[in-house]
Structure 1
């Protein structure tokens, strides 16, 4: 029995590896989840989990919060950080040319790369300097400190995703466009949502057009400016609130070594024991049917319900 399980595990790994190497599953494509593997190949959950763990160990797949396990793009060679070279009087050195090429744009770009790939917790002046292969102190000629760097990172990321020049005619379409674009920025940069604050908003110049877009759209439909701005904050905080899960899930996976689906599998026996008492019949039926959390679907569902709630205010004021 054990030998069959090992053989079956190897067959599944080989098949998925072949599909990835042949390009049938391209970088970014989602691979079968543990539940899909159990259904498709008729193996136990532990075997399915072992399959994905092996593919992750080989660097062929990685987990994306709210999406699942996806094919990893071939990585570029990582150059080891080297200490900055000190030029001697009368001697030649690469140090002066490296330092001369150091710009604010390169520093911010490297910091965004670190935060995108390793998370906000990994961001430090030392880590960014290592990425650029320069001395840490050289960064302080361009940014005051880590907080200043983070502000510039947020400003740069938002500036890289401008809203279109012309808004759709309908208020709902205009708000959907802006909210979905903000969600997409959060998806591309999971560290951004927890870095932003609602109660102590940072002065991010490139984010002002987003606020202006939302405020102007809502005010044009009859809402007073106070109510329009409150509605804007509600929509922004909803989008940010869902997106915060992207970074926290990445951190949890780094600490546990399990993606969200695998972690849920470890909790399943305890959950089924509680549901077996019969006290929660609706949850029991849901557990039997299965539920896979999709943050994109969750965001879209909530966005539509919020807009449904705003519609009587906006349509009613327009009709009046």
Structure 2
């Protein structure tokens, strides 16, 4: 007997094989499948998981699930062919990252990962003891694919900038990572230790300004916190864009008339002026401005010359 998820998957397979959905086209998202077919989210997840196992679709970060290049009727595994190999711990982490990259942490669950891998949910616990452990391994994988350049700059400021921008780039590739990172209960991240070590070392050889480890730790972690603090806004911004279909600039253009209407120049002269001026305020500009001003403060503290604004 054909299940509901198999029936929906067959419908989408037929559209792909007929060419109605071409390579690179978006396939129905889990939300759309739920809305159109009146099924549960778990059923919708099984549909996309089946299509991924067939090789007909692939997850594209920042876009969603699209038809894979070369998808055709022969992509599915023929009956009687050898079973797929069992997933490894690395497969589990990569599958979890793919879900988080496209749907955010809200779409991540052990059941969803198991569905995408085509295994029972309880099988995941052979590789990870809990969701928290999985998130930690995902974050360490982000660091693993974001190594610091070698050699690192010797001057403290150039090194701190390099470390911060490397982390910022990683958060842009994986918008959920900033939310996973904890500043008060640091996770055990073997690949992340290189980043912390580099920042601590940056403040360990300031001419004429020897610093104790407590001070250097505060200097290093404050740089990390700046990148993380701005980084936690990336995922909500992307999800809002996916839900509304509007970029931040388009949304702002629509909201400006209402904002101007309530920004009485007599009570809010600064805000009124700002809403009438073209200001390039983005997450990138906030990160770069904040990093420069933070390190300017460090320069004063360390007796070095700050940069020009």
| Deviations 1:17-68, CA, capped at 9 Å, x for gaps | xxxxxxxxxxxxxxxxxxxxxxxxxxxxxxxxxxxxxxxxxxxxx997xxxx
**Is 2:298 aligned against 1:310?**
yes
Q: Identify which of 221, 226, 251 aligns with 1:233.
A: 221
Secondary structure at the aligned position of 1:75 is classed as strand
| Counterpart residue number, 1:75 | 66
Deviation of residue 119 (structure 1)?
Answer: 0.6
Deviation of residue 206 (structure 1)?
Answer: 1.2
**Is 2:102 aligned against 1:117?**
yes
**Is 2:88 aligned against 1:103?**
yes
In 2: Cα distance, 1:200 partner to 1:73 partner: 32
Does the 8 A contact of 1:151 with 1:204 survive in 2? yes
Answer 1 or 2: higher relative contact order, Cα 8 Å, separation at least 6. 1
In 2: Cα distance, 1:259 partner to 1:127 partner: 28
| Counterpart residue number, 1:132 | 117
Secondary structure at the aligned position of 2:154 is classed as coil
**Is 2:161 aligned against 1:176?**
yes
In 1: Cα distance, 2:278 partner to 2:152 partner: 40
Deviation of residue 290 (structure 1)?
Answer: 2.3
Q: Identify which of 251, 269, 279 aligns with 2:267.
A: 279
Length-normalised TM-score, structure 2: 0.68
In 1: Cα distance, 2:129 partner to 2:264 partner: 58
| Deviations 1:45-93, CA, capped at 9 Å, x for gaps | xxxxxxxxxxxxxxxxx997xxxxxxx69934399xxxxxxxxxxxx78
| Deviations 1:262-310, CA, capped at 9 Å, x for gaps | 4434432332122245322232222212234321121111111111111
In 2: Cα distance, 1:152 partner to 1:63 partner: 19
Does the 8 A contact of 1:223 with 1:314 survive in 2? no
Aligned CA-pair RMSD: 2.9
User: Cα 1:135–1:77, aligned 2, differ >3 Å: closer, same or farther?
Assistant: farther
User: Cα 1:300–1:277, aligned 2, differ >3 Å: closer, same or farther?
Assistant: closer
Does the 8 A contact of 1:63 with 1:259 survive in 2? no
| Counterpart residue number, 1:300 | 288
**Is 2:230 aligned against 1:245?**
no
User: Cα 1:252–1:74, aligned 2, differ >3 Å: closer, same or farther?
Assistant: closer
User: Cα 1:63–1:291, aligned 2, differ >3 Å: closer, same or farther?
Assistant: farther
Secondary structure at the aligned position of 2:114 is classed as helix
User: Cα 1:219–1:276, aligned 2, differ >3 Å: closer, same or farther?
Assistant: same
Secondary structure at the aligned position of 2:211 is classed as coil
Which stretch of the first structure deviates more once superposed, 287-296 or 176-185? 287-296
Deviation of residue 254 (structure 1)?
Answer: 4.9
Deviation of residue 255 (structure 1)?
Answer: 5.2
Secondary structure at the aligned position of 1:291 is classed as coil
| Counterpart residue number, 2:175 | 190
Length-normalised TM-score, structure 1: 0.66
- Point out where structure 2 has 5 or more consecutive residues left out of the alignment: 1-59, 72-79
**Aligned residue pairs, count:** 235
Deviation of residue 261 (structure 1)?
Answer: 3.2
Q: Of Structure 1 and Structure 2, which has the larger fraction of its residues in helix?
A: 1
In 1: Cα distance, 2:65 partner to 2:235 partner: 23
- Point out where structure 1 has 5 or more consecutive residues left out of the alignment: 1-61, 65-71, 80-91
Does the 8 A contact of 2:103 with 2:239 survive in 1? no
In 2: Cα distance, 1:277 partner to 1:224 partner: 50
In 2: Cα distance, 1:277 partner to 1:313 partner: 39
